[in-house]
Amino acid sequence: MVISWVLLGRGFDWVVSWDSLRISQMAEELEQMLRRCVLTDEEAKDVLLKGRDAYQEVAECQMSIIGKVFGEKSVNHSGIKSFASNLWPYVKNLKVVEIGINMFQFIFSNEKDMNRVLSGRPWIYDNMFLVLVPWKEGVEQDEGAFTKT
């Protein structure tokens, strides 16, 4: 980096910006890879959340829908987020979290919006079915939960 600064002079700011952008992209890629990791039952029993943190997480999950896209293509987070924003413009403060390959958690700020989205199904994303189910503990591992529309 120092050599680049000496050689490029005024171009140093551009090199730093490029490096920061690349680091940000790498961080996002790493985050996506880590989200695809699933703990075994043996590993999960060793995970301990503080009471308050666990309570907040469960409360947030209870206000969410799990969506799974069925199709040949892999779906990306930004595409699903854009899809949800365009199709459900009435939903305020929607958070979309990628929780697995072609699986997303849609977190709502109120139950009315969540129920409205659930009642509007079936949903099609990029010519693939998007099956939505209300969150319940373990639903993301339950393949049978996504066979009913």
Q: pTM to 2 decimals?
A: 0.62
140 or 98, higher pLDDT: 98
pLDDT value at residue 107: 93
Confidence band of 16 (pLDDT split at 50, 70, 90): very low
pLDDT value at residue 15: 45
Q: What is the mean pLDDT of residues 52-76?
A: 82
Report the C-alpha gap between 27 and 86 in whole angstroms.
27
**pLDDT tens digits for range 73-123:** 999 899 999 999 998 988 989 999 999 899 999 999 999 999 999 998 788
